[in-house]
Structures are given as structure tokens and as C-alpha cells.
């Protein structure tokens, strides 16, 4: 049974000039203990998907249709107070900039203890001891002293470790990590990713890792969902998606990664840009940038279909159909 199930999620933003559809029928599952990567260009809908799951959509954004279930319980239509209890206790969140997650006026100990006592039946002394253990688990040395320090007294990498400790404070079943390493240098990125993998595997927590970095995806995830223009373009085991991509967009992303074994002065690129929400093309949203697009692609939108070891929203999945067959 899936821990998290997202089915046909649609997120809209009403405005004076009409309603913009930012997510259009997003579906995926995450199993207990699994790390699912969500990858794509800026504007693909990655962070919006995460915000929808943890109940932090910015108004006027709203979930227009679809379902989000955690352990079989529907959570997308819960009242604010009920969702607040789930967020932290059952779902932990790690954001790109740790300074947005930490209150500069309170010590990290105060913030950890408040989170722990809110969600777990522990007194302040027990909560403080748990907070110290969490800081140790996340690699912060001298945790007994540093627990009383304030966020500005930590480096960027150490602040992100504190945020991970906060996310794991109540032993959540699911952790939503939105670009957790983007603001960090490369060596610290590797440490944070390794830490996140280790702690979540030890605790049995599932992880939804949102990133634009395919290197992080390859190093960290069990499966990956590639998003484009508010939809899932391809989803499957990370090894298969990276090494045998079925969707032209996924293939384009893979070719954009420099190959260190080749001496080449120029990089491949995907021509064009992600469409604006008010200008999503008909048919497959990727068709204006796709070198394989035919009339069928411009008129009819493909759903996710079996393709090799993945699922891909493309009329040429597995290359079993020729262009003539599809356009006929």
C-alpha cells in the first residue's frame, strides 16, 4: 500500500482575466521508505505540488480537483487546524532557504522543543533531550551547547541540518524536501543529501525530493517523476529514466548534462522555453520544443503510458509506433 497517493491533482489560480491552471492532473504514489524525486525546469510545478501536499498553497491558489491521500486518509480537503496537526506530526517539510523555516528571535532549542511538545506527549525536559539527540543525529557537534544558540550563529549548511532536525522532530512518515541543497556549496550538498538518505532510511520515512539537479536525483532517489508545464511527463525507476528516457523532454534534460568523458566545447540545449500558464499549447505541452512532434502531438494530449520500464506521456513511447502510424 502506498504511503502517499496523489491522484489527478489540479491546482488553479483565479484572477481577473480568468483562471490559470498551474497543475493539471498530476498523479503519483510514494511507498513507505521510498525516495521519489520530482524534477523539471523552473515553472514546471514541482514546488507547487509539494505545497499542495503539505497544505501550504499560497492564496489565491486552490486545489480545484483530485485527491491527496496519506495512509489512505484524504488530506487535501481538511480544515486548517486539522492539517496543521498532520504537518509536522505525519509530514515533515524541508525548504530551500533554512532562514525561512527558522525564527531568528528564538534559539533553535526553543523551536525544536515547541515542535516536539506540540506533536508528541513529552514534557519540556524530555523534549529538550530529544532535541539534543536530533541535533547529534544530524551531525551538529557540541549539541548540548549549540541547542541554545540562535539561527544566525550557524553556517548555511548547519542551519539546513537544524531544519532537517525540525522536519524529523515528531518522526513523520513523509518528508517533503523542496530544493534542500540549492543554497549550499557542492561539498555541503553531498553531506546534506547523504544525511537525508541515512536518517530517512533508518527511520523508515518516505521522502519526496524536489529539485532541478539531475545529479542529486541520480545519487539519492529510488524513482523519479519528470514534470513539464504542470504535468508528469515521465515517471519510473531512477536508473531507467536517466539511462533510457522515453519522453523527448527527459531525453533533452539528460543531454544537457555535461559528459566529462568527452572533450566538447558546447553543451546541448532544449530549444525554446517553458510555456506560460496562460499560453499552454494544445495537445502535448512540449510539442513546440519537440524535434519529433507531428500533427497528433499538436492536437491530442497524451496520458501516461507504459514505456520500457517507465511511464511516459508521449505518443512515441518505446518507439514502437512510427510517426506515420500515430498521425494516421
Summarize pLDDT for 88-144 with one digit per residue, the tens.
899 999 988 888 889 999 999 999 999 999 999 999 999 999 999 999 989 899 999
At 206, list the grid cell.
518516505
**Based on the number of CB atoms within 10 Å of its own CB, is 202 exposed (0-12), middle (13-18) or buried (19 or more)?**
exposed
Domain span at residue 93 reads 4-228
pLDDT of 321: 40
Tell whether 118 is covered by a domain: yes
Residue 199 domain-assigned (yes or no): yes
Domain membership flag for residue 87: yes
For the chain, which residues score pLDDT lower than 50?
A: 319-328
H helices present in 175-307, as ranges = 186-203, 214-220, 238-243, 248-255, 295-299
Q: Decide: 311 and 231 in contact? Cβ < 8 Å.
A: no
- Nearest-angstrom CA–CA distance, 277 and 274: 9
| 307 within a domain of the structure (yes/no) | no
How far, in Å, CA of 166 to CA of 67, rounded? 27
Residue 122 lies in a domain: yes
The number of distinct structural domains making up the chain is: 1
CA dihedral for 124, 129, 132, 133, sign (positive or negative): negative
C-alpha angle 166-49-313 in degrees, rounded to nearest 5: 140
The per-residue pLDDT for 264 is 64
Establish if 112 belongs to a structural domain: yes
Please give the pLDDT value at position 10.
Answer: 97
User: Can you say whether the dihedral through the CA atoms of 311, 316, 320, 325 is positive or negative?
Assistant: positive
Q: How many residues are given for the chain? A: 328
Distance (Å, whole) CA 314 – CA 310: 12
Q: What is the pLDDT of residue 326?
A: 42
How much is the pTM?
0.91
Q: Is residue 222 domain-resident? A: yes
CATH number of the domain that 91 lies in?
3.40.50.300
Asked whether residue 166 is assigned to any structural domain, the reply reads yes
Picking from 138, 143, 125, the residue whose alpha carbon sits closest to that of residue 175 is: 138
Amino acid at each position: 500500500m502506498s504511503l502517499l497517493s496523489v491522484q489527478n491533482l489540479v491546482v488553479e489560480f483565479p484572477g481577473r482575466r480568468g483562471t490559470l491552471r498551474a497543475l493539471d492532473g498530476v498523479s503519483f504514489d510514494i511507498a513507505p521508505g521510498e525516495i521519489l524525486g520530482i524534477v523539471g525546469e523552473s515553472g514546471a510545478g514541482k514546488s507547487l505540488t509539494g505545497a499542495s501536499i503539505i497544505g501550504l498553497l499560497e492564496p489565491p491558489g486552490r486545489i480545484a480537483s483530485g485527491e491527496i491521500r496519506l495512509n489512505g486518509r484524504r488530506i487535501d480537503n481538511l480544515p486548517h487546524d486539522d492539517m496543521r496537526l498532520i504537518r509536522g506530526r505525519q509530514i515533515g517539510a524541508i525548504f530551500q532557504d533554512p532562514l525561512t523555516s527558522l525564527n531568528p528571535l528564538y534559539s533553535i532549542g526553543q523551536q525544536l522543543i515547541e515542535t516536539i511538545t506540540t506533536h508528541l506527549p513529552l514534557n519540556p525536559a524530555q523534549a529538550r533531550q530529544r532535541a539534543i539527540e536530533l541535533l547529534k543525529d544530524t551531525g551538529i557537534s557540541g549539541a548540548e551547547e549549540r541547542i541554545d544558540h540562535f539561527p544566525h550563529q550557524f553556517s548555511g549548511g548547519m542551519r539546513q541540518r537544524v531544519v532537517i532536525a525540525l522536519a524529523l522532530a515528531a518522526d513523520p512518515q513523509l518528508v517533503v524536501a523542496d530544493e534542500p541543497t540549492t543554497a549550499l556549496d557542492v561539498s555541503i550538498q553531498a553531506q546534506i543529501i547523504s544525511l537525508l538518505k541515512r536518517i530517512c532510511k533508518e527511520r523508515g520515512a518516505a521522502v519526496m525530493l524536489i529539485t532541478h539537479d539531475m545529479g542529486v536525483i541520480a545519487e539519492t532517489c529510488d524513482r523519479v517523476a519528470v514534470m513539464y508545464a504542470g504535468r508528469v511527463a515521465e515517471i519510473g525507476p531512477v536508473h531507467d529514466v536517466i539511462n533510457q528516457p522515453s519522453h523527448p523532454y527527459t531525453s533533452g534534460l539528460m543531454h544537457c548534462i555535461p559528459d566529462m568523458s568527452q572533450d566538447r566545447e558546447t553543451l546541448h540545449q532544449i530549444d525554446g522555453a517553458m510555456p506560460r500558464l496562460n499560453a499552454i499549447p494544445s495537445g502535448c505541452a512540449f510539442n513546440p520544443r519537440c524535434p519529433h512532434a507531428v500533427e497528433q502531438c499538436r492536437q491530442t494530449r497524451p496520458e501516461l503510458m507504459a514505456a520500457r520500464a517507465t511511464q511516459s506521456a508521449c505518443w512515441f513511447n518505446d518507439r514502437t509506433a512510427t510517426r506515420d502510424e500515430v498521425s494516421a
